[in-house]
Amino acid sequence: MTTTARVTTQHEDGRVRVTRWDFQPGQSTGNHVHAYDYVVVPVTDGRTRVITPDGRSTLSELRAGESYARSAGSEHEVVNAGTEPLAFVEIELK
């Protein structure tokens, strides 16, 4: 099994990029920096572990349909820390 989540770009234009992330347990986004402000819309319930470059780790519970937003510049890795597949849609505001 690959350790990287499956990434599908659903839409992109001059204003927004919409990406779906699908993770099996233990799969990761890999470390990345967000160039744009963004909104995450969980498709499934699940648990993530967010790891920052300094090694700090935070667990979060995601609930399907309960969105959250973050500012550009965030650097981290997101791991499916649950026991079931996890999916969310990320909307980047260019």
* CATH code for the domain of 50: 2.60.120.10
Residue 20 belongs to a domain? yes
Mean pLDDT of 10-21: 98
Q: What is the pLDDT of residues 30-83, one digit of tens each?
A: 999 999 999 999 999 999 999 999 999 999 999 999 999 999 999 999 999 999
Residue 32 belongs to a domain? yes
Cα separation, 45 vs 42, in Å, equals: 7
Residue 87 belongs to a domain? yes
What pLDDT does 19 receive?
98
CA dist 6 → 13, 23, 54, 59, 63 (Å): 21, 6, 25, 21, 20
Residue 1 belongs to a domain? no
Residue ranges making up the domain that contains 40? 6-93
Cα separation, 26 vs 81, in Å, equals: 6
Number of domains in the chain: 1
Band of residue 2 on the pLDDT scale cut at 50, 70, 90: low
What pLDDT does 23 receive?
97
Residue 43 belongs to a domain? yes
